[in-house]
Amino acid sequence: MKLKNLFCMKKKRRLLFSPNLYFGEGIDPNKMEKLREKLLSKPLFTKVFLLTLPENDSDQIDVLESKYLVQDYYANHSLRVVGIAGDHDDAISLILKITEDCLAIRNDCMLKEFLKWQ
């Protein structure tokens, strides 16, 4: 591969969306496909917060503003998205909702295990 082609390659973000995705207030689930495409093509202008499953063992949920998806790190790592919120406060409310659901179903607060999917 020529050196010029190496630098011109477009990096592909990998966002894996949970089949049981949580939506914050102001996020229309019916427009999910359009939002997904915007996150993949123009994350700087999407202005949403993503709740993702962390790669490490010590965290439960990561909160990431969509504009950070342009960083090189996210071009090389898959993100497992479990929720989408309109702003930071909405993301915190969504985490509380997920925690309440987990507690009601599992009787514990093991959010990472509760949110995992195959």
- Is the residue at 63 inside a domain? yes
| pLDDT of 12 | 64
Domain extent at residue 89: 12-115
| pLDDT of 2 | 46
What predicted TM-score, i.e. pTM, was given to this entire model?
A: 0.84
Number of domains in the chain: 1
- Is the residue at 106 inside a domain? yes
- Which phi and psi (to 5°) does residue 52 adopt? -125, 160
Q: How far apart are CA 41 and CA 38, in angstroms?
A: 5
- Is the residue at 31 inside a domain? yes
| pLDDT of 8 | 41
What pLDDT tens digit does each residue of the chain (118 aa) get? 444 444 444 556 789 999 999 999 989 999 999 999 999 888 888 899 999 999 888 999 999 999 999 998 888 888 999 999 999 999 999 999 999 999 999 999 999 999 986 4
* Long-range pairs of 115-118 with CB within 8 A, sequence gap ≥ 24: 115/18, 115/20, 115/53, 115/61, 115/82, 116/53, 117/18, 117/19, 117/20
- Is the residue at 57 inside a domain? yes
